[in-house]
């Protein structure tokens, strides 16, 4: 199978390499011509056999919509566009309907695996029509890890289902990371604990909290035992917020994911106005000591 891939950043570059290593022909396009196989999207599309399949791998938002439109202008009826970025699921219906006017099929795919996916493979969650999913299956099989397909790939449902599943996956990821982070800080603060790194390392086999995230935390602590080279400022890429919004929309309690998201917000405030207000209130009603702002 021969596929086009637009967007050769951290994820797309490695995905191209994995697909090629598993026998697919890939013509990639990126604005960075040092990474690109084609000089333009038009040239990339012309290199593909019909019916053509093009995977778009760029940041979520207007850039994805614009790029899908640009790619579609070079395609024909019967071709397929796959959005493998972290688009919001509500955008997928818009993209599907836009492409349907040209009889171009659309598949949304949530992709998990990060920088390790090139060697380990990617977990894939797809949304769209069954016939289109089946047509693109050689691509999914090339990207996912070896082994039974159902352990790393799912046709999650209708258009938007792939990105919705990935959204919830990332919300869960927020909660898991926050739990490990809080455990790290508690262990680090206790004077009877002499080996924080060793404690986490001892959890890697035989415990109920063993996981890849735990393995990565152990690796991070091996490289920097005090995490002194890392700032405590944490971004959020959108999926955690969207998961919380969906929980609110459906009246579903999601305290762990919500608290993990809010903890990231807190990480960006050196001297939070809200905490100043609480300190001032405690001083007002109880005469509690307030630390001066210059300390």
| Selected catalytic residue, list 43, 120, 129, 173 | 173
Angle at the Cα of 237 from the Cα atoms of 160 and 216, rounded to 5 degrees = 105
* Rounded CA separation 47/75 (Å): 12
Exposed / middle / buried, residue 108 (Cβ in 10 Å: 0-12, 13-18, 19+):
buried
Identify the bridge partners of residue 270 per DSSP, sorted by sequence position. none
Largest pairwise CA distance in the chain: 76
What SS3 class is residue 71?
A: helix
Q: Residue 82 is inside which H or E element, if any?
A: strand 80-83
214-220: long-range pairs with CB below 8 Å, 24+? 214/180, 217/180, 217/184
- Does the annotation count 173 as an active-site position? yes
Look-up of token digits 């990371």: 177
166 is catalytic: yes
Extract the tokens encoding 20: 């090629």
Q: Which one of the listed residues 120, 166, 185, 222 is annotated catalytic?
A: 166
Q: What is the distance of C-alpha 141 from the center of its chain? A: 19
Core vs surface per residue 204-237: b (16+ CB within 10 A) or e: eeeeeeeeeebeebbeebeeeeeeeeeeeebebe
CA atoms within 13 Å, Cβ hemisphere of 7: 22
SS3 for 194-224 is CCHHHHHHHCCCCCCCCCHHHHHHHHHHHHC
Catalytic site positions: 166, 173
């Amino acid at each position: 199978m021969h596929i086009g891939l637009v967007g050769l950043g951290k994820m797309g570059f490695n995905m191209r390499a994995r697909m090629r290593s598993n026998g697919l022909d890939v013509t990639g396009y990126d604005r960075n011509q040092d990474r690109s196989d084609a000089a333009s999207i038009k040239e990339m599309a012309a290199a593909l056999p019909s019916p053509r399949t093009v995977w778009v791998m760029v940041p979520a938002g207007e850039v994805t919509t614009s790029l899908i439109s640009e790619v579609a202008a070079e395609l024909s009826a019967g071709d397929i566009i796959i959005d493998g970025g972290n688009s919001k699921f509500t955008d997928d219906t818009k993209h599907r309907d836009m492409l349907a006017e040209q009889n171009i099929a659309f598949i949304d795919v949530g992709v998990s695996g990060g920088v390790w996916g090139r060697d380990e493979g990617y977990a894939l969650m797809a949304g769209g029509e069954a016939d289109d999913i089946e047509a693109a299956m050689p691509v999914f099989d090339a990207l996912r890890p070896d082994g039974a397909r159902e352990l790393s790939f799912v046709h999650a449902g209708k258009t938007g289902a792939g990105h919705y599943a990935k959204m919830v996956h990332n919300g869960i990821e927020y909660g898991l990371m926050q739990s490990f982070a809080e455990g790290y800080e508690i262990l680090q603060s206790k004077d009877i604990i002499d080996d924080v790194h060793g404690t986490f390392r001892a959890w890697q086999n035989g415990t109920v909290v063993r996981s890849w995230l735990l393995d990565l935390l152990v690796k991070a602590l091996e490289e920097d035992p005090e995490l002194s080279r890392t700032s405590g400022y944490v971004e959020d890429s959108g999926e955690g917020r969207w998961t919380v919004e969906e929980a609110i929309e459906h009246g579903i309690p999601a305290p762990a994911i919500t608290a993990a998201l809010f903890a990231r917000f807190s990480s960006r405030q050196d001297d939070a106005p809200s905490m100043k207000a609480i300190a001032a209130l405690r001083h007002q009603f109880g005469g509690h000591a307030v630390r001066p702002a210059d300390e």
